[in-house]
């Protein structure tokens, strides 16, 4: 009986791909952080040689922005996802896509109900978030349809739907439509006697798809209105596109979807439509759909990345009875329906001209589902606590942090000293399933090598001279079912690295002096300001341990890479120390601007210390630029005779601020040069470049010419 149960479990595991799950175990491939994308097949699998991959538009846009629209970097980032995860499942947007390729090999036990043969062209009509994918090379990027042409392979197990590519159908359009799952088909079945329709979106191809289905089912007499966001992705254009839009829609309006009430006022569209469709990936669009739909009407959400839940709250708040529907997953009937739609639209799009498909950045438009839902509900502040995040660089990292938190995998946090790696670790733990369990922080550099084993793993009573009579629990035992942070992990001695590897691999360890293993279940977060790859080359760090710790890498940007965060950080630290010291001080704008331009080699920690000293040392309630200069370049300022540039109150009306600053700056330059003897050293002392120093030096009248060594 036991062998029969094991056989059933094995078949189920193979059917749903569970045998390929690496991190964490015992979940489906869609939920897994990392899956096995090795080439060898299980008996129930089929391998497909890649030709074209459709990426979810939000995922594609996020990657393009992160890569600054550089094709080389876009390719690298896409391939990097498959290396890190074994699938093309974007961790920032939590979305995948679809694939098209050629059958390469069929496993001996693959059910093959559709009779596929090696060489058949197929589409795997399941998300790339589920499928093991290996990409060796990307040959082309299609920014119009958010697709790539690539070399490599994918593995489909028998539960995944495969569709034979129909003849004479443009594959790029078919993939785009298939990515909408059964949504188009379901809308076609929802339309009955409705006469007034609204389509809200920000992608011209997407809006045309839904407009076509409505027109196809509702007929020529239906009134179909299209709302495009003013920043709609106009990726195709031309006479045939214009003709199609005119055929599908009675009215087309370009509006600011971020201002839904203003849109509705302008169009006088309150309670007007029988059925409205939201295919926009912008928070706020759901308000337009709900308010524009009459009582008893239907609001349809094309995909779950929209604020479906917010729409439900709005209907309650306005006491309007609406039938709110959302996207369907797989429906067997929709394959043929979608293929028919492609054939009908293809003639209009065949001669369309590709427009400028450069992806533009706009912080007003969040890029992923979690961010949209969090911002709409105010939940993002709860998830991120006081994690300061105003720059795009840090926003991208924060989204990764919050997303990877829910996956029970190890994370390696890298970054310079003072960037806040420990805060990142705390945020991961707080948003994980282990948040109610212990979070143990270990500074590996602060523990003496001879004490490290007993601190990590504990010891039995009497195991060495001076040992406590009752023995001691180590960090890993204390953290059982919780999370451990190994800060400064690059400082670990090699002998401890070997023992740590055993704990991570086997989930057990021996105490010092112990004779039996102790089981532990711990998530390991590591942090370092060193290049671990370099340590490996120097034989100072084990490569196998590195691979275990580096399941998901997080690179925390330095403060100079996230300058947009500096004003918010300053405001945060001022508030923090105002509360602590029971004072009420502020900082002038020009002082903040100067701090934004500083290099901050000590990053956030250095900035915090400077702000704290400024609050303590400033005599007035407003911190000025002069206070900043004196604080940062005190060795220069302390020696300058203040009488050289002090101005009485009576003289201010005849002395402009510009003249005051120029006079002050001239004295600083003069003293710095006199003290350090060269423009290079003087410039370094006051925090500017040598070129800037020389230029300023020459600009001031009365400054004696000196050699620029």
C-alpha 539/C-alpha 542 separation (Å) is 7
Of 203-207, 523-527, 575-579, where does mean pLDDT reach its minimum? 203-207
Give the phi and the psi of residue 257 in degrees, each rounded to 5.
Answer: -65, -20
State the residue range of the domain holding 475.
Answer: 378-557
Each residue of 296-311: pLDDT tens digit?
Answer: 888 888 865 555 666 7
368: in domain = no
Would you state the pLDDT for residue 644?
47
> With contact defined as beta carbons under 8 Å apart, do 53 and 99 qualify?
yes
Mean pLDDT of 551-555: 91
Each residue of 176-213: pLDDT tens digit?
Answer: 888 876 788 888 888 888 899 999 988 888 899 999 99
Winning range, highest mean pLDDT, from 18-27, 299-308, 551-560, 661-670: 551-560
Number of structural domains the chain divides into: 4
CATH number at residue 406: 3.40.50.300
Of 126-135, 170-179, 268-277, 329-338, where does mean pLDDT reach its minimum? 329-338
361: in domain = no
Residues 161 and 212 in one domain: no
Would you state the pLDDT for residue 329?
63
Residues 338 and 452 in one domain: no
Query: Token pair for residue 483?
Result: 């999370």
Of 505, 522, 557, the last residue of a domain is 557
Mean pLDDT of 373-399: 63
Mean pLDDT of 150-171: 90
Mean pLDDT of 314-332: 73
Residue bearing the bigger pLDDT, 181 or 7: 181
Would you state the pLDDT for residue 233?
65
Residues 282 and 334 in one domain: yes
Distant-in-sequence, close-in-space partners of 145: CB < 8 Å, separation ≥ 6: 54, 172, 173, 175, 176, 205, 235
603: in domain = yes
Residues 209 and 122 in one domain: no
369: in domain = no
Residues 399 and 467 in one domain: yes
Mean pLDDT of 553-566: 89
Residues 168 and 187 in one domain: no
Would you state the pLDDT for residue 638?
55
Whether residue 363 is predicted with pLDDT greater than 50 in this model: the reply is no
CATH number at residue 257: 3.40.50.720
CATH number at residue 615: 1.10.8.60
Residues 169 and 44 in one domain: yes
Q: What is the DSSP string of 230-284?
A: EEEE--EESHHHHHHHHHH-SEEEEE-TTSHHHHHHHHT-TT-EEEEEE---STT
439: in domain = yes
Mean pLDDT of 378-405: 72
60: in domain = yes
Residues 584 and 680 in one domain: yes
Comparing CA positions, the residue from 346, 308, 352 lying closest to residue 212 is 346
**407: exposed, middle or buried (C-beta count within 10 Å: 0-12, 13-18, 19+)?**
buried
Residues 343 and 485 in one domain: no
Would you state the pLDDT for residue 361?
45
Comparing CA positions, the residue from 622, 621, 564 lying closest to residue 593 is 564
Mean pLDDT of 388-404: 82
497: in domain = yes
Residues 543 and 572 in one domain: no
Q: The whole model's pTM is what?
A: 0.59
Residues 107 and 120 in one domain: yes
Share of the chain above pLDDT 70, in %: 84
Residues 229 and 335 in one domain: yes
Query: Token pair for residue 538?
Result: 């120097």
Of 108, 143, 178, the last residue of a domain is 178
Each residue of 419-439: pLDDT tens digit?
Answer: 999 999 999 998 888 888 899
Of 124, 147, 178, the last residue of a domain is 178
132: in domain = yes
């Amino acid at each position: 009986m036991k062998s029969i149960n094991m056989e059933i479990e094995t078949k189920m595991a193979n059917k749903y791909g569970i045998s390929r799950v690496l991190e964490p175990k015992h979940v489906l491939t869609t939920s897994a952080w990392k899956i096995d994308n090795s080439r060898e097949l299980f008996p129930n699998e089929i391998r497909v040689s890649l030709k074209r991959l459709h990426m979810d538009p939000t995922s594609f846009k996020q990657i393009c922005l992160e890569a600054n629209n550089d094709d080389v970097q876009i390719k690298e980032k896409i391939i990097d996802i498959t290396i890190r995860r074994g699938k093309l499942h974007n961790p920032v947007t939590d979305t995948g896509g679809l694939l098209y390729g050629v059958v390469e090999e069929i496993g001996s036990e693959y059910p093959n109900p559709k009779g596929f043969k090696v060489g058949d062209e197929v589409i795997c009509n399941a998300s790339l978030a589920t499928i093991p994918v290996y990409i060796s090379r990307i040959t082309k990027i299609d920014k119009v349809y958010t697709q790539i042409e690539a070399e490599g392979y994918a593995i489909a197990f028998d539960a995944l739907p495969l569709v034979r590519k129909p003849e004479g159908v443009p594959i790029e359009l078919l993939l785009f439509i298939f990515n909408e799952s059964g949504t188009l088909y379901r809308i076609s079945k929802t339309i009955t006697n409705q006469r007034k329709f609204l389509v809200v979106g920000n992608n011209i191809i997407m809006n045309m798809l839904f407009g076509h289905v409505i027109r196809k089912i509702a007929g020529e007499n239906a009134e179909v209105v299209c709302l495009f966001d003013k920043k709609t992705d106009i990726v195709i254009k031309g006479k045939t596109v214009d003709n199609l839009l005119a055929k599908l829609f009675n009215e087309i309006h370009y509006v600011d979807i971020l201002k839904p009430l203003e849109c509705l006022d302008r169009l006088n569209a309150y309670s007007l439509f029988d059925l409205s469709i939201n295919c926009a990936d912008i928070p706020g669009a759901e308000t337009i759909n709900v308010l524009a739909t009459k009582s008893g009407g239907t609001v349809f959400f094309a995909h779950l990345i929209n604020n479906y839940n917010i729409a439900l709250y709005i209907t309650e708040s306005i006491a309007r009875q609406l039938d709110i529907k959302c996207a369907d997953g797989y429906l067997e009937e929709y394959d043929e329906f979608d293929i028919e739609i492609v054939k009908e639209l293809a003639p209009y799009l065949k001669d369309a001209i590709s427009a400028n498909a450069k992806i533009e950045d706009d912080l007003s438009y969040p890029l992923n589902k979690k961010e949209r839902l969090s911002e709409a509900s105010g939940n993002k502040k709860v998830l991120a606590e006081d994690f300061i995040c105003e720059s795009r660089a840090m926003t991208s990292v924060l989204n990764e942090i919050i997303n990877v938190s829910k996956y029970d995998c190890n994370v390696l946090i890298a970054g310079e000293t003072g960037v806040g790696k420990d805060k990142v670790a705390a945020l991961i733990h707080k948003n994980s399933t282990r948040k109610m369990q212990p979070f143990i922080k270990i500074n590996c550099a602060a523990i003496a090598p001879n004490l490290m084993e007993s601190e990590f793993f504990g010891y039995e009573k009497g195991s060495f001279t001076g040992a406590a009579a009752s023995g001691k629990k180590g960090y890993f035992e204390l953290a059982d079912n919780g999370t451990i942070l190994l800060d400064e992990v690059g400082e670990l001695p090699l002998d401890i690295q070997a023992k740590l590897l055993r704990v991570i691999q086997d989930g057990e360890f021996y105490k010092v002096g112990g004779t039996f293993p102790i089981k532990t279940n711990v998530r390991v977060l590591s942090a370092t300001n060193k290049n671990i790859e370099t340590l490996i080359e120097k034989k100072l760090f084990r490569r196998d341990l590195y691979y275990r710790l580096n399941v998901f890498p997080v690179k925390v940007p330095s403060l100079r890479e996230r300058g947009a965060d500096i004003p918010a950080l300053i405001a945060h630290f001022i508030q923090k120390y105002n509360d602590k010291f029971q004072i009420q001080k502020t900082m002038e704008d020009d002082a903040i601007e100067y701090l934004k331009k500083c290099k901050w080699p000590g990053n956030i920690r250095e900035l915090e210390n400077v702000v704290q000293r400024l609050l303590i040392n400033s005599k007035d309630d407003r911190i000025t630029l002069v206070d900043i200069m004196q604080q940062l370049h005190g060795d220069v300022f302390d020696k300058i005779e203040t009488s050289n540039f002090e101005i009485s109150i009576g003289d201010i009306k005849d002395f402009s601020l510009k003249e005051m600053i120029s006079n002050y700056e001239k004295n600083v330059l003069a003293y710095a040069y006199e003290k350090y003897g060269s423009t290079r050293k003087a410039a370094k002392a006051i925090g500017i470049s040598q070129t800037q120093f020389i230029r300023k030096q020459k600009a001031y009248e009365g400054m004696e010419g000196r050699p620029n060594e």
